[in-house]
A and B are shown apart, each in its own frame.
Chain A
Amino acid sequence: MKTLNANPGAAIRALLFLAVLGAAPNQLSASPRALAQDDEASEDDADGNEKEKDADTWFAITNADVYTGTGAVLRGATILAKNGVIDEIGYDLFLPDATETLDAMGMRVYPGLVAMGATSSLSGGGLTSADADDIEHLDPHFGLDDPMRGDEIDAHVSPDHDDDESFGDYDESDSELTATIADVERIEDSFDPFGQALVLALATGITTAEQSGAAVKLKRGEIKGMVVNTDHLAGFGWSVSNPASIRKTREDFAGASQYLREHGAWDELDKDAKKETKEPSKPKNFDAAAYDVLTGKKLARFSADDREDLSGIATFAQRYGFRPVIFGCREGWTVASELGRAGAYALLTPRERSPKSELLVRAGGSSIENAAILHEHGVQVAIRPANTGFGSSMSGITGRDLLSLPVEAAFGVRGGLPEDAAIAAISLVPARLLGAADRIGTLEPGKDLDAIVTDGDLLHYETFVQWAIVSGKVVYDKQDEVYFAHIRPRPEPPQAPEPEATDDGGDDQEPAVDDAGVDEDASDDEEPTADDEATDDDDESEDDRRAA
């Protein structure tokens, strides 16, 4: 039973909640997870229950209209996550006792958004810009051509979930992952998990951002497990105005392809023949990035807008059988069928404005219909605004930077892009580009619970994100932050009727009654409580136990 002696309890809860949000990484023992574990541990001590339960934290979003991102919309459904990973989505789910619930009655739940090319202002640290255009004039392989690189290929991250887990809990002694660990550490060390831009990103619904080519989860107050994947995109040059870039790319792929063929043939030899035949060596100018693309470990990224370049890339990619990722893709709408046949991905800005050259007769330049036409031809479209920071909004001019990521997608809809494709363009497709779609991008069992709860259609300009959840933890609550709380404040959830007598449990899905909207029902049901003072506090189980 729960006595709704709300105010003092709620205030303490709110304080605790804020304290948790503000906790420094070295104070993580105060996290909800740790608190929950403490509760369970004490319980277990008393009851002598199974030990395995200790490690599990359960979190559920209830009563929401769940837009899974896979095409399904489940009205009034529940999403249950175990240890930050979605366990089940559906109706009448069994919620374990210790489940922390977020009542999202009347709201919608979408997958957390993924921001490509987010400026380093988001991380608050000294990461370099991930925007390829900034370094386009450099050799795309600059700094990557060291002789050791070829040997490390196998140590590189594969998009497999299992391998990714090593990022969160990597073992320093694992020498094979040295290069990657350095990347992860570099990103973690330069990340500010308390920054203003981080909160604004979460307020927009962004739960993962691309930083320096890595997929970085916007965890708050902690950095553990924030890097999902690194370096999934390998950059290549292709510009008719710079024929050397095309020649270099052709050579890179020719060399890697030849090595793959020769080594493949050698691999098929039997043991004795192998001894007699020399193992094929890598060509002199072997390109590891092209090898990674051909073996499916990475995606090849090109920055191209001109239609001749786009056609060339499409033809080239088909020849080698890989799917090119094209940043920019301004004139893609004029060669959409070629790009579609090549299975291309496009990262574009629907509002881009570049009239075609007046010297040209053929169609060209930017088009508001670009995203729609590419989508229609089977190109997977990802969307980002022209300005991938918050500078414009922070000077008062809104609607044109990362704070309005869904607005940029809405302009895709204006040009004819279907709404579900527009949402995928800021969630699932960029997750694929980052090699992180096995973890994020949609709401499916087995994926991380990175989700946003909105008060309406995500693509509508008046819609606000009410809560953002990363790895099954509430990391943003509109009403708890200074930025937007005063704009159309969220109505208090309907108060549950005053309990007159003993309520015999089963209240896991009751609307939350506290300020934060997070209802921790820990052990309410099991402990027969005669104590009128028992409140909703985190330490209630201890009280209960004493009372019992």
Chain B
Amino acid sequence: MLSLATTLAVSLAAPQVAAPTSFALRASKVLTCADEGDPFVNNGIVLVKDGKIEAVGRERDIEIPEGYELFDCGDAWLAPGFVELHCHEAGRSLYSGVNDLNDTVYLTNPGMRASAAVDPGNRSMQMAVAAGVTTVLYIPGSGSNIGGQGILLKTSFNRFEENLVKNPGSMKLAQWGNPESWGPGVGRTFENWNTRHTLQRGIAYAKTWEAFEAGEGEEPQRNVSYDVFRHLRANDIAISTHTQFYQVVLMTLTMVHGELGLPVFLDHSSLGGWRTGALAEEMGVAAICGPRSVDPPSRRVVNWAQLGQEGFKGLAAGYQEQGHTNIGFNTDSPVIPQEELPLNAAMGARYGFDDSNLEVLRGLTIVPAKAARIADRVGSLEAGKDADILVVTGHPADPRTAVEAVFVNGRRAYDAERDGRRW
């Protein structure tokens, strides 16, 4: 039913001035993605006050307070802004034209911060917001095993402070694929040892602070390289892991989460990684899939995973078959352009991911928000959360669906009519 796109144009009574601090949006369908209650509301109202969502509900249940301007979105739908957990485009590296932030000096460099390279309002982010991607995790590249700290940002504003959601937003771990090309003479065995060793040192460092804060021992000496582990130990952020292949994803789960007890979510997670689905579900580790959406047939071209399969195997579908319930999507932009995050979700559905309960939209919103520990602010349309709201003409993942307007923090960050359609 949801795939029937309503293509009628939206006539937002769009004033050319900044949106008022308090307003109401009315739409034929509100996809809330809330865990409690209805995942969607027909003929719904969203009240926004001071950048936050004040209330969401059916039109007949919600009274619009006095002084609130009403924007009627007509036949359009409302959806939460998308959350991307694998972005390399929100900043700028030393090399012009290359956005990926790769310091391949140290194999493990947990002290490096992506935040220093953030380039607010760059073209990629302008495209992102036009496609409905309102929050990104901007992370260092996967050239080293631990590339540094990611930062969670809104995509819509020109000032760093306005975009900031959380810094550090994650610690970036890359377990398979790129670090192997690091320098001569380093094998995967050493890399694995070194990664574990770094994680253990970081945990030990964080524990000394925990002890001090509990009133035991002297104040430890500050080490900015390992400060990020205090956030990890507090479960305030998670490790975003570039991981793929069954055996390696298994190491992410058993070593990083099981043995060392660090919060983690799977990024990439392709090439047979879905076979760990049951274990990942048991451990509560979210599986974020991308930029690959399928494991291709083993014959010809690529057979890295040695899967021995003949057909196209959808990754999200694979995790789902294993009983996993927290499956999301990422782009690894610029591998896939940032604005094509919803297409990656659509491809997940094409290749077998069941979308009968809005799983595709959840995988673009609340699932990644929870994985990144920011679900208190974004990921669903619920009272108290940031007013990051998309006005769309149909199913948010359908390539045919146009994004008519995007509100971020209650401000009209993009309006196709006002700004010209960017995407």
Contact = CB atoms under 8 A, between A and B. Distances in A.
Interface of A: 196, 351, 353, 355, 367-369, 391, 393-400, 404, 407, 410-411, 413-416, 419, 459-462, 482-488
B423 A407 contact: no
Given A391-B301, A411-B399, A482-B310, A461 B349 contact: yes
A462 B3 contact: yes
A391 B317 CA distance: 22
A355 B311 contact: no
Contact of B397 (A351, A461, A487): A461
Nearest to B244: A396
B296 A395 contact: yes
B300 A483 contact: no
18 contacts: A353-B127, A394-B301, A395-B296, A396-B271, A398-B312, A410-B400, A411-B399, A414-B402, A415-B402, A460-B3, A483-B297, A483-B310, A483-B311, A484-B311, A486-B311, A487-B311, A487-B317, A488-B352
Nearest to A419: B400
A355 B271 CA distance: 34
A543 B422 CA distance: 67
B300 A394 contact: yes
A487 B296 contact: no
Interface residues of B, number: 43
Nearest to B295: A396
A482 B298 CA distance: 11
Contact of A355 (B123, B295, B346, B351): B123
The 9 closest A-B pairs by CB, nearest first: A396-B292, A482-B310, A410-B399, A413-B400, A461-B346, A394-B301, A399-B347, A487-B352, A398-B347
B295 A482 contact: no
B241 interface: no
A399 B400 contact: no
A181 B38 CA distance: 66
Interface stretch (B138-146, B192-200, B335-343, B361-369): B335-343
Contacts of B399: 407, 410-411, 413-414, 461
B299 interface: yes
A414 B293 contact: no
B421 A369 contact: yes
B294 interface: yes
B380 interface: no
Given A414-B399, A461-B346, A394 B421 contact: no
B421 A395 contact: no
Given A484-B311, A484-B312, A398 B301 contact: no
A399 B293 CA distance: 9
A351 B352 CA distance: 25
Given A410-B399, A461-B349, A487-B352, A397 B311 contact: no
Contacts of A396: 270-271, 292-296, 302
A197 B397 CA distance: 28
A482 B346 contact: no
B343 A407 contact: yes
Dominant SS among interface residues on chain A:
loop
Interface in B300-347: 300-302, 310-312, 314, 317, 335-337, 340, 343-344, 346-347
B401 interface: yes
Contacts, number: 107
A109 B235 CA distance: 53
Contacts of B294: 393, 396, 398
Contacts of A353: 127, 337
B353 to A, nearest CB: 10
Contacts of B292: 395-397
A394 B305 CA distance: 13
Dominant SS among interface residues on chain B:
loop
Contacts of A410: 398-400
Given A397-B292, A461-B347, 9 more contacts: A394-B300, A395-B296, A396-B270, A396-B271, A399-B350, A410-B399, A459-B400, A462-B355, A487-B350
Contacts of A351: 340
Given A414-B401, A482-B297, A487 B302 contact: no
Interface of B: 3, 123, 127, 270-271, 291-297, 299-302, 310-312, 314, 317, 335-337, 340, 343-344, 346-347, 349-352, 355, 397-402, 421-423
A407 B311 CA distance: 20
A272 to B, nearest CB: 67
B358 to A, nearest CB: 14
A79 to B, nearest CB: 27
A530 B142 CA distance: 73
A391 B300 CA distance: 10
A411 B295 CA distance: 24
B309 to A, nearest CB: 9
A398 B313 CA distance: 11
Contacts of A485: 311
A487 B351 contact: yes
B406 to A, nearest CB: 15
A393 B296 contact: yes
Contact of A399 (B3, B297, B317, B344): B344
Nearest to B309: A482
B1 to A, nearest CB: 13
Given A460-B3, A462-B349, A487 B421 contact: no
A368 B314 contact: no
Given A399-B343, A414-B400, A414-B402, A394 B297 contact: yes
Contacts of A411: 399-400
Contacts of A368: 421-423
Contacts of B346: 399, 407, 461
B300 A196 contact: yes
A487 B350 CA distance: 8
A483 B297 CA distance: 7
A393 B3 CA distance: 24
Nearest to A457: B3
Contacts of B355: 462
Nearest to A393: B296
B283 to A, nearest CB: 25
A461 to B, nearest CB: 4
Nearest to B9: A416
Given A461-B346, A483-B310, A485-B311, A397 B293 contact: yes
Contacts of B270: 396
Nearest to A410: B399
Contacts of A462: 3, 349-350, 355
Given A461-B349, A487-B314, A398 B422 contact: no
A368 B401 CA distance: 12
Nearest to B402: A414
Residue among B292, B294, B300 having the largest count of chain A Cβ atoms under 10 Å: B294
Contacts of B127: 353
A368 to B, nearest CB: 5
A367 B422 CA distance: 7
A434 to B, nearest CB: 26
Given A368-B422, A460-B398, A487-B317, A399 B299 contact: no
A355 B355 CA distance: 35
Nearest to B297: A483
Contacts of A407: 343, 346, 399
Residue among A397, A411, A415, A461 having the largest count of chain B Cβ atoms under 10 Å: A461
A395 B304 CA distance: 10
B350 A398 contact: yes
Contacts of A419: 400
Residue among A355, A396, A399 having the largest count of chain B Cβ atoms under 10 Å: A396
A503 B3 CA distance: 43
A461 B398 contact: yes
Nearest to A456: B3
Contacts of B350: 398-399, 461-462, 487
Contacts of A404: 347
